[in-house]
Structure 1
Amino acid sequence: MKQRITLTLLLLGSFAVSKAQNYVIKGSLQGQGNEKIILRGIDGPITVEAKENVFELTGTAGDEPFVTSINTSVDRNLYLGGGKSGMYQPSLPLEVVLTKGAKLNITGTALGINMASVTGDALNESFTQFRKAEEKYILEQVALQKQMVEARVMGIPDAMKEIGPKMLENRKAMMASRKKFIKDNPEAFASLYYLSTTSRDYTSDELDAAYKGLASTYKSTRYAKGIVEKIASLKLIQAGGPAPDFTKLDINGKPVSLSQFKGKYVLLDFWGSWCGPCRAANPHLKELYSTYSSKGFEILGISSEKVSGQEQAEKMWKEAVEKDGLTWTNVINNEKEMKQDVVRLYDIEGYPTQILLDKDGKIVARWLGAGGKALDDKLKTIFN
């Protein structure tokens, strides 16, 4: 009898330990109603239906902090013309950190779920502080995106000239805000995570210094290891590392390889028809191409379209190339059965990204965002 009781207690104890390792997320979002809440869990998506704005999620966590996202089935997409069957830009989800035994509370609105408050542990509270620090820039970005869509739907041709630069300036201000948060909060897990996701906004020396300025608390995580790898990668780029070769189809359906441009300075321009800052940068690229193309300068545009289906992607891409008057070689990264993902190959984290190569195909410089004055100065030095 004692053996049975002991075994029962052991089993109950094992169950209690297992249950304690589960995270529990309770939330209340205004406007959520009875719509679905979707969490990208470690073992796949977890979906629950809210009841009068309230929901609860639970699941298992790993041995180290895992950053994932929560979204709502409430329609928050930004439609870019053509109604809900046309091209759209998905709204941002809410980022949360999952750990064993975490008990989290989420409050906010369904439409603004990406800016909701998450409390319950230091890791998620640092993310909430980070969101508050950049909230005004997020709101301005959304407002500018809506203006851009309205202008596009109304057929206002010059609107991009006004809105595009504002989007670029807002993005620069947001990046400055993020860098300040990271520097001012070295103990926060959010600082390490967002340093890993914004590493392309730093030179190798700046990234190295920012990483060394963080506390050692979370430096054994995958996110810290990713930063260390980025620092090594950036140092290789700054040292003139070779650009990986690739082959894509141009606007006429003909294969184009990067290697065929050897002997010329080449600017790789990663962009998309949906990207306001990319389109705003095109007039200046046209000026640069007109000035330097006869001296051995080429631009290779690489478009990534945020639509489902290759046919729709090609349509949006070709229309943008024609409308913006882009006369240099353009290829698209949206093949149905993609053999080479150039965006992944070059570790592109934002648009536009511009990479300048020398005559031997080695990387001279890289910019997240339009190269602007830095690109101008570099080309003047090369050709003058």
Structure 2
Amino acid sequence: MKHTLTFTLVLACSSLVSMAQGNYTIKGNLKGQGNERIMVKGTEGLITVEAKNNVFELTGQAGDEPFVTSVNTGIDRNLYLGGGKTGMYQPPLPLEIVLTKGANLTITGSALDLNLASVTGDALNDSFTAFRKAEETLTKQMSGLQKEMVESRIMGIKDAMNEIAPKMMENRKALSASRKKFIKEHPDAFASVYYLSMTARDYSAAELEVAYKGLGSTYKNTSYAKGIEAKIESQKIIEAGGPAPDFTKPDVNGKPVSLSQFRGKYVLLDFWGSWCAPCRAANPRLKELYAMYAAKGFEILGISSEKVSGQAQAEKMWKEAIEKDGLTWTNVLNNEVSMKQDLVQLYGIEGYPTQILLDKEGKIIARWMGAGKQLDDKLNSIFNNK
């Protein structure tokens, strides 16, 4: 009996060790967190825990390869754009971390600056912390400029945009340069693979290919690396004015919609979001153009990317904006759970709104960022000069 009991205990302990190796643990101490919630998007859904006197701990199940996800706090860090807390707002940047089997991570920093917190515990997260440190000054500068812009708008200072916008553009260029520098100088870091996949739009197809070839081989079997390879090929097509990459996304009724089903019509891909004031301001003119040219073979396919946590909230804001703005063309959402294609990455979207016009064969005719007269002029030349 003793031998049987011993053998049973050994099996039980082995099973527990195996289970523990599949789990990750996150411990944290964030100044100003208090007793508010901490949320982590795990591989199997959202994990929420309440902190106690700034301290928290949570566990979850990890997958077979490194999984980059976000940590958020229940503390209100939104940047409100006027109209109080019921009006439009810009959500704060989350803290990006890497989840792997058996990881024991420690998060330290400030709750209000959660996106800049330090994450230690393994080489993958050490590389992410080093990446954040390299651009911390520029990130804080951009945050300050955004707040200054909002305050000026609320106060009705008309010339604020002319003064602050150029500074924001310079900051974005500096951030892009900083990220490229980090990736080049840290070819073996997992952060370099991940952030190259996230910033592929800052490279031409040839530049992206060179940057990717310069990376070490350690993480080139991950989905992030495979994504870069796909982007290189798609960007070559886009730059050559070839066929736009096909995709399938859910519409407002949850029905899958593919780009390829619009062949035979001129199609405008309108990248927008309910949170984007310039996008919403452009919708009345888009409605006029749609009314003018729809019968002649013009179609609009709206692609919304909502800056919120969770698909349910994304769908709510997206559908409310469609109804309020009276958009009658096909709209799809780029926030679905287990997203297989991120269209913002696939099409290298740098800002909102971005409009991409396709011909009847699905080839790219033109592309613009912002809403101006370019679309009006192009549609006029296509439909009124035949």
| TM-score in terms of structure 1 length | 0.74
Counterpart-to-counterpart distance in 1, 2:322 and 2:163: 27
**Is the counterpart of residue 116 in structure 1 residue 117 in structure 2?**
yes
Counterpart-to-counterpart distance in 2, 1:73 and 1:44: 17
SS in 2 for 1:57: strand
What residue is the counterpart of 1:33 in the other structure? 34
CA 1:310–1:225: 2 relative to 1, 3 Å: closer
What residue is the counterpart of 2:237 in the other structure? 236
What residue is the counterpart of 2:187 in the other structure? 186
What residue is the counterpart of 2:164 in the other structure? 163
What's the CA shift for 1:155? Answer: 2.6
Count of equivalent residues: 339
SS in 2 for 1:47: strand
What's the CA shift for 1:42? Answer: 0.8
Are the equivalent residues in 2 in contact too, given 1:61–1:99 (CA < 8 A)? Answer: yes
Q: Could you list the runs of 5+ residues in structure 1 that have no partner in the other structure?
A: 249-256, 283-297, 319-328
What residue is the counterpart of 1:351 in the other structure? 351
Within a 5 Å distance, the mapping from 1:1-384 to structure 2 comes to 1-243=2-244, 262=266, 270-271=271-272, 275=276, 304=304, 308-309=316-317, 313=321, 333=331, 347-348=346-347, 349-352=349-352, 353-355=354-356, 362-363=363-364
Counterpart-to-counterpart distance in 2, 1:98 and 1:245: 28
Q: Could you list the runs of 5+ residues in structure 2 that have no partner in the other structure?
A: 252-260, 283-297, 307-313, 382-386
Counterpart-to-counterpart distance in 2, 1:121 and 1:184: 20
CA 1:364–1:172: 2 relative to 1, 3 Å: farther
Residue-by-residue CA offset, 1:181-215 (whole Å, 9 max, x unaligned): 11111010000000111112212111111111000
Residue-by-residue CA offset, 1:11-42 (whole Å, 9 max, x unaligned): 11221232233211111100001111111111
Moved more, 95-104 or 353-362: 353-362
Moved more, 101-110 or 135-144: 135-144
Are the equivalent residues in 2 in contact too, given 1:275–1:351 (CA < 8 A)? Answer: no
Give the letter aligned to residue 106 of structure 1: I
Give the letter aligned to residue 321 of structure 2: A
What's the CA shift for 1:305? Answer: 8.1
Counterpart-to-counterpart distance in 2, 1:43 and 1:144: 37
Aligned Cα root-mean-square deviation (Å): 4.2
What's the CA shift for 1:110? Answer: 0.4
- Counting aligned pairs with the same residue, the percent is 58
Counterpart-to-counterpart distance in 2, 1:178 and 1:120: 23
Give the letter aligned to residue 89 of structure 2: Y
Counterpart-to-counterpart distance in 2, 1:224 and 1:40: 21
Residue-by-residue CA offset, 1:252-296 (whole Å, 9 max, x unaligned): xxxxx987975xxx98664568558989xx9xxxxxxxxxxxxxx
Give the letter aligned to residue 129 of structure 2: T
SS in 1 for 2:242: coil
Moved more, 200-209 or 303-312: 303-312
Counterpart-to-counterpart distance in 1, 2:212 and 2:236: 15
